[in-house]
């Protein structure tokens, strides 16, 4: 028999290791969204608006269907948020030229400004973490996070460690 105290059950360690990851995901996401949430609250918007503004900014001309596929919410839910953002002139919606059933979404200058402000908060947090961890750690971070994402959405990311 091996000394159980000196060399504890590797399955137990693995369980602890994995629980740590689960917990870090919770705390990291909580704090990652906390900053933008404060700014949004000041102007009467919520996290749902942020997500829409972010992805429209990231993919100008994105259609409503594409947005729904990313956000994985119902069109009724998106409609409320998106409608509000169009009313408040953060986003414009124009009819698609090739398929006139589609609505292509884009940020207005006002939308771009807000998007920048919100993204800057998250970008600075990530930049800080990246700087302190180093390039090797960043590669690992992306690799693991990539594996956490559903296979169907992995193609969105090139994590070959380019730069």
Strands (E), 15-131: 62-63, 91-95, 103-107
Residue 113's binding partner among DNA, a second copy, none (Cβ under 5 to 8 angstroms by kind) is none
Q: DSSP states of 40-57 as a string?
A: HHHTT--HHHHHHHHHHH
Question: φ and ψ at 92, to 5 degrees?
Answer: -115, 150
Question: φ and ψ at 62, to 5 degrees?
Answer: -60, 145
**Residue of the chain from 5, 22, 87, 155 that contacts a second copy (CB under 8 A):** 22
CA distance 52 to 71: 8
Sign of CA dihedral 148, 149, 155, 158: negative
Which is nearer to DNA, 93 or 112 (by Cβ)?
93
Taking the complex as a whole, the smallest distance from the CB of residue 88 to DNA amounts, in Å, to 12
Residue 75's binding partner among a second copy, DNA, none (Cβ under 5 to 8 angstroms by kind) is DNA
Residue 80, classed as helix, strand or coil, is helix
Which is nearer to DNA, 13 or 69 (by Cβ)?
69
Which is nearer to a second copy, 52 or 91 (by Cβ)?
52
Which is nearer to a second copy, 27 or 98 (by Cβ)?
27
**Closest to 51 measured CA to CA, from 70, 31, 65:** 70
Which is nearer to DNA, 93 or 129 (by Cβ)?
93
**Residue of the chain from 5, 148, 155, 160 that contacts a second copy (CB under 8 A):** 148
**x/- letters, 31..70, toward a second copy (CB under 8 A):** xx-x----------------x--x---x------------
Residue 83's binding partner among DNA, a second copy, none (Cβ under 5 to 8 angstroms by kind) is DNA
């Amino acid at each position: 028999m091996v000394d159980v105290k000196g060399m504890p059950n590797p399955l137990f360690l693995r369980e602890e290791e994995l629980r740590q990851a689960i917990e870090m995901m919770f705390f990291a996401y909580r704090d990652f969204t906390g900053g933008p949430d404060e700014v949004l609250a000041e102007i009467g918007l919520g996290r749902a608006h942020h997500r829409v503004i972010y992805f429209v900014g990231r993919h100008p001309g994105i259609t409503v269907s594409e947005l729904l596929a990313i956000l994985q919410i119902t069109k009724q839910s998106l409609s409320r948020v998106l409608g509000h953002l169009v009313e408040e002139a953060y986003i414009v919606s124009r009819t698609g030229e090739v398929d006139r059933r589609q609505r292509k979404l884009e940020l207005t200058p006002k939308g771009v400004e807000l998007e920048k402000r919100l993204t800057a908060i998250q970008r600075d947090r990530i930049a800080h973490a990246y700087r302190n961890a180093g390039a090797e750690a960043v590669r690992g971070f992306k690799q693991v996070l990539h594996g956490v994402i559903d296979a169907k959405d992995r193609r969105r990311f090139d994590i070959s460690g380019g730069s």
